[in-house]
Amino acid sequence: MRERAILVGLELTGGGYRGRSSEAEELLEELASLAESAGAEVIHQTLQTRAAPEAATLIGSGKVEEIAGLVQAGGADVVIFDRDLSPTQQRNLERAFGCKVIDRTQLILDIFATRARTREGQLQVELAQLNYLLPRLAGRGKEMSRLGGGIGTRGPGETQLETDRRRIYRRIRKIREELESVRLHRSVQRRQRQSVPLATAALVGYTNAGKSTLFNRLTGAGVLADDRLFATLDPTIRQLVLPSRRRVLLSDTVGFIRKLPPTLVEAFRATLEEVTEASLLVHVVDASSPLAPRQAVEVRRVLADIGAGRTPQLLVLNKTDRIFGEAAALNTLAQRIAGESASGPTSRWVAISALTGEGVDRLLEAIDEMLPLDPVSAARFRIPATDGAALHVLHEFGRVSAMRYCDGCCEAEAEVPESVKRRLAAYLLE
């Protein structure tokens, strides 16, 4: 049975804070999408405008009473706030409403807990959840032992709520050690890939921009693509053959979002290393969304935070099948995004529909032109049959057209990138 949720937003307009109703409303709508992605049914949304937040409850006493009445009338199971709550505010609000209260960070962490599939992803989510729970241990008392289901109680929170601070610290240290092992393993894999230099590209973008659909279109990987926020979390890397017949590595990464919890950015650094090491970032934007420019700015802000702000970017305006009179609209959108990100790297832009495949050929050509050159040419090799590593490299990164074995050697004709030709230079035939 789906939990019934009431959403609460706060717009600050004074006391040093400046807000815009439109932006506050957009964030509240985004919170509704997050709640639905977590499996909740949104029964009411409310937005309060204040000069400053209330220290004890974030919102004013009148609004607290109003929401308490809505909870009783609508049978709400959870109240979700668009702003982060302090432990004290959360406890006060739960006493006032008589139901569970969570904030945006806890909601996102809950979604991540249900979507992470790999061991690495689960560790990263657990680390973020424990760091979030740690300051909320004090004063929870009896509530800390509950094992109920629903938003905010899934994942490692179910087991860690009953532990004391010392055990949580011990678990955090253990997770960090395991993640450091993951980083070392990734660095070894990266060095192995770089031993035969392949250009790398990473798909980045706001959550639900269509990255996974595009990744499947380009590589046939079969990654889950769903119309939900954070449908996929775990990174996937596949080879991609470009029009020049070069092979490159393409990675699909977790989507970004406004107010992405800092604990998640820190926890996912091991995964995001694939972004920071990429030669080209393919920035996918939902061109049909009225919030596209703001979403693009937020993505570039996160990229700058993780050290990838200066990496060349190719802007991809996706979902053009939803736009009418698209030529002028797309050009205006591309110019607006470029203008709002003037401090970032210079980028081209391409309009596509990952769903229908329209424009994908132009996208591949643009990637081919922007990635570091590694031209493909025909070559003949004579490799000892006992050198399995060299033969593997030839078949893995080249297109073999003919082979024959003679005198303990393998003579092969193949089309290979220049980097592979240099690696196998000892076996080249004139």
pLDDT digits (tens, 9 = 90+) for 368-426: 888 876 777 889 999 999 999 899 888 887 889 999 998 899 999 998 887 788 888 88
Asked if 263 and 227 count as a contact pair (C-beta separation under 8 A), the reply is no
Contacts of 377 (CB under 8 A, 6+ apart): 415, 416, 418, 421
User: What's the pLDDT at 9?
Assistant: 93
Q: CA-to-CA distance for 293 and 123, rounded, in angstroms?
A: 33
Q: CA-to-CA distance for 304 and 276, rounded, in angstroms?
A: 10
Q: Which whole number is the average pLDDT over 30-38?
A: 89
Asked if 270 and 179 count as a contact pair (C-beta separation under 8 A), the reply is yes
User: What's the pLDDT at 270?
Assistant: 58
How many degrees, rounded to 5, is the angle at CA 152 between CA 147 and CA 156?
60
The one-letter code for the residue type at 360 is: V
Q: Which whole number is the average pLDDT over 289-313?
A: 86
Does 5 or 153 have the greater pLDDT score? 5
Strands of 399-406's sheet, edge to edge? 399-406, 409-417, 376-384, 428-429
Q: Which whole number is the average pLDDT over 132-159?
A: 57
What confidence category does residue 151 fall into, taking pLDDT thresholds of 50, 70 and 90? low
% of residues, the chain, pLDDT over 70: 80
DSSP state of 151: T
In order of their start, the domains of the chain are 1-196 (3.40.50.11060), 197-370 (3.40.50.300), 376-429 (3.30.70.240)
Per the DSSP assignment, residues forming a β-bridge with 238 are: 250
DSSP state of 254: P
Residue 17 pLDDT exceeds 50? no
Asked if 314 and 320 count as a contact pair (C-beta separation under 8 A), the reply is no
Q: Which whole number is the average pLDDT over 33-44?
A: 91
Buried b (16+ CB within 10 A) or exposed e, 312-349: bbbbbbbbbeebeebeebbeebbeebbeebeebbebeb
Q: Which whole number is the average pLDDT over 170-174?
A: 91
Residue 159 φ/ψ, nearest 5 degrees: -95, -30
Asked if 108 and 138 count as a contact pair (C-beta separation under 8 A), the reply is no
Q: Which whole number is the average pLDDT over 284-300?
A: 89
What confidence category does residue 94 fall into, taking pLDDT thresholds of 50, 70 and 90? very high
Asked if 204 and 253 count as a contact pair (C-beta separation under 8 A), the reply is yes
Helix, strand or coil for residue 312?
coil
Q: What is the dihedral of CA 416, 417, 419, 420, to 10 degrees?
A: -20
User: What's the pLDDT at 63?
Assistant: 95
In tens, the pLDDT along 50-71 reads 989 999 999 999 999 999 999 9
Residue 15 pLDDT exceeds 50? no
**For the chain, how far is it from start to end, CA to CA, in angstroms?**
71
Across the chain, mean pLDDT equals: 81
